[in-house]
A and B are shown apart, each in its own frame.
Chain A
């Protein structure tokens, strides 16, 4: 059995990336994710890897693009305003079908906002902040253990589907220290015959998204991408249903806000109120079917977010009788409160 160790969320994520075989990291400092580059700069040279502090987030995501095009497992991390700067690169990465892992340890926005944890980038993450018809996988860890476990999963999913996988955490999750068991390598191996390694004994490879003749090729590419996205939607939805089987009141949340909801559910259950929690593990693809099952008996569905209402749109699109869906959120780095969640649930019963 592996020992439990104490680590910060950001550092657990960094170590998990190394366990996953990531040997290239490019990034630019921004709070509250600075432990990730600091950790990678310490660890990567010791395992034969490359850490490079880029001149900007734009440069960092394009270094990721280049390293991925060369066939490497590669990661970058940032926080909300920095992730905004990476959107152009993410669109190119989608168009060129390059695998990579991008970490967003969200902080309050819009603009420079503040440095406290937030969930204000749900739209940006799930709708695509860059241009064009594309999607990216979005994983939403809620514990330090999951920061590590989902990082391993992220690298495998990225390689399997040749897609950017976004790990969507928040400043609280990045900074919190918790015990975890470091995951073991999954051992999955992915061939990359498309990688740019020099045209020795083969035809030249090209990594590009440009398709200049619209009727014959760009739509063709988009349809190919769309098939891939459909496959991911069918196969890769992940979620956790906690005490939902008989739940009359269902909380829906992800990440840090789901931990607050879990506490509220436990306390409500102690008072005999049938509350349950549906927690996203993938925000895209959105686990709509699982949510339908979890919400089958719910009189009310309370969506709880550290934003003023973004995930709620997916919740409403997914459940039957969406008029059941209500919202409670705090924004600008503030946290939803257990007591307020309980108060609202109890009010539904009156």
Chain B
């Protein structure tokens, strides 16, 4: 086939390492990783970026990102991000966290990093379950949702209601940007990319703390096929976790 007149229109982002990830089929992490890498390239900050890897399924994110990376203990990514950013304010520091990390074991750090208005960007992956440890209840697990530690379904009278991260942080004065998005379909995936881009741009411009929550999928631990999982986000999670912008100062 004649290809010399083809125009090169799409390639792997430079910020994304060319390797196979360990993520399950239908998992949202791979999509969000790619969106982040594209944004890093588009904003030209790959050589300034530092990704903080949380504990959870995305613990190896620094192996997939072609820029500096730092491990954090469970829940402490915001504190590690604070230390990194305070030393080198010109670096672009991204705290990538899951729902157990951010809203259970690391709630204090998550709230206080936002309250201080640290000039960093948080990407919060909410898939309503603990993935890496085998599907236990997360703070964002839906009411009646069956998990490894709620075999009879999550009972809010026993373990409380799912926590809404954006709404919680929206009570604070300091954050400049708070948005909830999802990757359950193409349209929303593009919106997610736009929000991530805004969050990183805010940081580059020194505007302060940005928080992007992404409603994501975990087909393996939900016991669903990938498309069923995407549908479950739309039909079950979105009604409880409304999508949209909460703050854009």
Complex contacts, A56 vs chain B, CB 8 Å: 108
In this complex, the member of B49, B73, B81, B109 whose beta carbon has the largest number of chain A beta carbons within 10 angstroms is: B73
The answer to whether B83 touches A206, judged by C-beta atoms less than 8 angstroms apart, is: no
Q: Check B243 for interface membership: any CB of A closer than 8 A.
A: no
Q: A24-B87, A54-B79 known; 18 other A-B pairs, CB under 8 Å?
A: A55-B109, A59-B82, A59-B109, A62-B72, A62-B73, A62-B76, A65-B76, A70-B83, A70-B87, A89-B73, A89-B76, A197-B68, A198-B49, A198-B50, A198-B91, A204-B62, A206-B71, A210-B60
Complex contacts, A207 vs chain B, CB 8 Å: 69-71
Q: Scoring B residues 204 to 245 as 1 if CB is less than 8 Å from chain A, else 0, what string do you get?
A: 000000000000000000000000000000000000000000
Complex contacts, A69 vs chain B, CB 8 Å: 70, 80, 83-84
CB-based nearest B residue for A65: B80
Give the A-B pair count, Cβ closer than 8 A. 135
Q: How far is the CB of A72 from chain B (nearest CB, A)?
A: 4
The 8 Å CB contact of B82, one of A52, A68, A92, A205, is A52
Q: Check B67 for interface membership: any CB of A closer than 8 A.
A: yes
Complex contacts, A65 vs chain B, CB 8 Å: 72, 76, 79-80, 83
CA distance A92 to B92 in the complex (A): 23
Complex contacts, A50 vs chain B, CB 8 Å: 86-87
Q: Check A64 for interface membership: any CB of B closer than 8 A.
A: yes
Q: How far is the CB of A293 from chain B (nearest CB, A)?
A: 42
The answer to whether B47 touches A199, judged by C-beta atoms less than 8 angstroms apart, is: yes
A selection of 29 A-B contacts at a CB cut-off of 8 Å is: A24-B87, A50-B86, A52-B82, A55-B112, A56-B108, A58-B76, A58-B109, A59-B78, A62-B76, A63-B80, A66-B83, A69-B84, A70-B87, A70-B88, A74-B83, A74-B87, A89-B76, A197-B68, A198-B49, A198-B50, A198-B67, A199-B47, A199-B66, A200-B47, A200-B48, A204-B65, A207-B69, A208-B53, A212-B60
Q: Check A284 for interface membership: any CB of B closer than 8 A.
A: no
Q: Top 4 closest A-B pairs, CB basis? A: A66-B83, A62-B79, A70-B87, A208-B71
The answer to whether B68 touches A198, judged by C-beta atoms less than 8 angstroms apart, is: yes
The answer to whether B79 touches A63, judged by C-beta atoms less than 8 angstroms apart, is: yes
Complex contacts, A208 vs chain B, CB 8 Å: 53, 62, 69-71
CA distance A197 to B85 in the complex (A): 10
Chain B residues numbered 82-106 whose CB sits less than 8 Å from any CB in chain A: 82-88, 90-92
Complex contacts, B85 vs chain A, CB 8 Å: 66
Chain B residues numbered 50-66 whose CB sits less than 8 Å from any CB in chain A: 50, 53, 59-60, 62-63, 65-66
CB-based nearest B residue for A50: B86
Q: Check A335 for interface membership: any CB of B closer than 8 A.
A: no
The 8 Å CB contact of B48, one of A62, A89, A198, A210, is A198
Complex contacts, B29 vs chain A, CB 8 Å: none
Q: How many residues of B contact A (CB 8 A)?
A: 38
Complex contacts, B50 vs chain A, CB 8 Å: 196, 198
Q: Check A315 for interface membership: any CB of B closer than 8 A.
A: no
The answer to whether A63 touches B108, judged by C-beta atoms less than 8 angstroms apart, is: no
Q: Check A109 for interface membership: any CB of B closer than 8 A.
A: no
Q: How far is the CB of A89 from chain B (nearest CB, A)?
A: 7
Q: How far is the CB of A134 from chain B (nearest CB, A)?
A: 14
Q: Check A290 for interface membership: any CB of B closer than 8 A.
A: no
CA distance A63 to B52 in the complex (A): 12
Q: Check A88 for interface membership: any CB of B closer than 8 A.
A: yes
In this complex, the member of B47, B80, B81, B82 whose beta carbon has the largest number of chain A beta carbons within 10 angstroms is: B80
Q: How far is the CB of A307 from chain B (nearest CB, A)?
A: 29
The answer to whether A62 touches B80, judged by C-beta atoms less than 8 angstroms apart, is: yes
Complex contacts, A63 vs chain B, CB 8 Å: 79-80, 82-83, 86
Complex contacts, B65 vs chain A, CB 8 Å: 204
Complex contacts, B68 vs chain A, CB 8 Å: 196-199, 204-206
Q: Scoring A residues 201 to 224 as 1 if CB is less than 8 Å from chain B, else 0, what string do you get?
A: 100111111101000000000000
Given contacts A50-B86, A200-B47, whether A210 and B79 have CB atoms under 8 Å apart is no
What is the interface of chain B, defined by CB distance below 8 A to chain A? 46-50, 53, 59-60, 62-63, 65-73, 76, 78-88, 90-92, 108-109, 111-112
The answer to whether B84 touches A70, judged by C-beta atoms less than 8 angstroms apart, is: yes
CB-based nearest A residue for B74: A88
Q: How far is the CB of B39 from chain A (nearest CB, A)?
A: 16
Complex contacts, B81 vs chain A, CB 8 Å: 66
Q: How far is the CB of A199 from chain B (nearest CB, A)?
A: 5
Complex contacts, B112 vs chain A, CB 8 Å: 54-55, 59
The answer to whether B73 touches A92, judged by C-beta atoms less than 8 angstroms apart, is: yes
Q: How far is the CB of B94 from chain A (nearest CB, A)?
A: 12
In this complex, the member of A63, A72, A210 whose beta carbon has the largest number of chain B beta carbons within 10 angstroms is: A63
Q: How far is the CB of A251 from chain B (nearest CB, A)?
A: 41
Complex contacts, B90 vs chain A, CB 8 Å: 198
The answer to whether A55 touches B108, judged by C-beta atoms less than 8 angstroms apart, is: yes
In this complex, the member of B82, B108, B111 whose beta carbon has the largest number of chain A beta carbons within 10 angstroms is: B82
The answer to whether B80 touches A66, judged by C-beta atoms less than 8 angstroms apart, is: yes
CA distance A201 to B68 in the complex (A): 12
In this complex, the member of A50, A55, A60, A72 whose beta carbon has the largest number of chain B beta carbons within 10 angstroms is: A55
Q: Check A277 for interface membership: any CB of B closer than 8 A.
A: no
Complex contacts, A68 vs chain B, CB 8 Å: 83
